[in-house]
Amino acid sequence: MTDVLAVADHRRGELRDVSYEVITAGRQLADDTGGELHVAVISGTVDEFGDKLNREGVDAVHTVDYGEEFNHDVYTQVLTQLYDELAPQYVLAPNSVNGLDYAPAVANALELPIVTDTVGLEADGDTLVANREMYGGKVEVTTELEGTAVATIRGAEWSGAEGTGDASIEAFDAEIDEDAVGSTVTGFEEVGGGDVDISEAEVLVSVGRGIEEEENLEIIRDLADALDATVSSSRPIVDNGWLPKNRQVGQSGKVVTPDVYVAIGISGAVQHVAGMKGSDTIVAINTDPNAPIMDIADYAIHDDLFDVVPALTEEFQ
């Protein structure tokens, strides 16, 4: 048992970026263990996916032609069978919403420990050393476990594998027990449309939970008016119903790339950062000098937004 099995992610006919990232992470681990890297792709147009996943460092791609879209029962059955067949040391999955919908089940079915949302992975002999964050990114920990394991990797932490490999591409003949498939995906829906498209904005004044009360949003609107900017927000503001869904920046909201992104009272959780890290210039206003947003900010003010925001608005009035 030295090999690594990495699982690809796709949706509506497209492989997702993290599929290539999990190959990179998997190759590194396989180098540590001296084993091979196997990639599994389940459902969808698997032949086409198989070709695309044949990137540098991949030894074998296992395609499972079954159904169109992700179904966690199918994934769980296939992966436990592939595991029995290949006996890999590690199973790697993306820490995507779908990854979190099957990886814990696969780990449990195989009676393996699982570490999720890892940002670093290394195999040292029989020990898997995995780094992950806790407390919303305030600290990082090194965790260790012995033997075989399932791990999920955080998106955008590893670069995507490139080039073309010389992997064997093999159809894996999984036996799907239809009776054990108790969930059915019936469709998809886009959400968050509406009048304003924050992904087009040049300047975003983005507000987070630091604003405390709905009434206080007024000072953010005043600032946006003064700057001729657009208001966006982190998730809790939308969850509270203070702004519509189309204003949410992040993993489950919109990806934005403005010239300037002013993050006001936003901690910079990974799911938020996923949506705004491509901004040209990032300014953070936050009382907490250690907030994770500071790691990606170009300019920072460690102060109370209730003092800074009105003062800034005044500058432009």
Binding residue for other proteins (CB under 8 A) from 175, 177, 186, 213? 186
The β-bridge partners of 4 are 37, 90
If you search the block for the tokens 């007024």, which residue do you land on? Answer: 218
The β-bridge partners of 131 are 120, 142
Three-point CA angle 248, 253, 254, nearest 5°: 90
Instruction: Check: CB of residue 273 under 8 Å from CB of residue 206.
Output: no
Nearer to ligand FAD, 150 or 273 (CB): 273
Nearer to other proteins, 50 or 292 (CB): 292
- Closest approach, Cβ 112 to ligand FAD, in A, equals 23
Q: Does 316 bind other proteins (CB under 8 A)?
A: yes
Interface pattern 157-176 for other proteins (x via CB under 8 A): --------------------
Nearer to ligand FAD, 50 or 275 (CB): 275
- Give the CB-nearest residue to ligand FAD: 250
Whole-number Å distance between alpha carbons of 76 and 93:
12
- For residue 25 the two structure tokens come to 């992470």
- Closest approach, Cβ 11 to other proteins, in A, equals 7
Instruction: Check: CB of residue 233 under 8 Å from CB of residue 173.
Output: no
Residues in touch with ligand FAD (CB under 6 A): 136, 208-210, 234-236, 248-253, 265-267, 269, 271-272, 275, 285-288, 291, 304-306
Instruction: Check: CB of residue 102 under 8 Å from CB of residue 119.
Output: no
Nearer to other proteins, 160 or 192 (CB): 192
Contact partner, 183, from ligand FAD, other proteins, none, Cβ < 5-8 Å per class = other proteins
Measure CA of the first residue to CA of the last residue in the chain; give whole Å. 67
- Which residues, numbered 269-308, are part of the site for other proteins (CB under 8 A)? 281, 283-284, 287-292, 294-304, 307-308
- Which residues, numbered 56-95, are part of the site for other proteins (CB under 8 A)? 70, 72-73, 76, 95
Whole-number Å distance between alpha carbons of 266 and 283:
11
- Closest approach, Cβ 34 to other proteins, in A, equals 23
Nearer to other proteins, 173 or 186 (CB): 186
Nearer to ligand FAD, 47 or 307 (CB): 307
- Which residues, numbered 105-134, are part of the site for other proteins (CB under 8 A)? 105, 107-109, 113-117, 129, 132-134
- For residue 297 the two structure tokens come to 């900010």
The β-bridge partners of 276 are none
Q: Which positions ≥6 away from 124 have C-beta within 8 Å?
A: 32
- Measure the CA dihedral 203/204/205/206, to 10°: -160
Q: Does 190 bind other proteins (CB under 8 A)?
A: yes
The three-state secondary structure class of 140 is: strand
- For residue 125 the two structure tokens come to 């002999």
Contact partner, 104, from ligand FAD, other proteins, none, Cβ < 5-8 Å per class = other proteins
The β-bridge partners of 176 are none
Nearer to other proteins, 28 or 96 (CB): 96
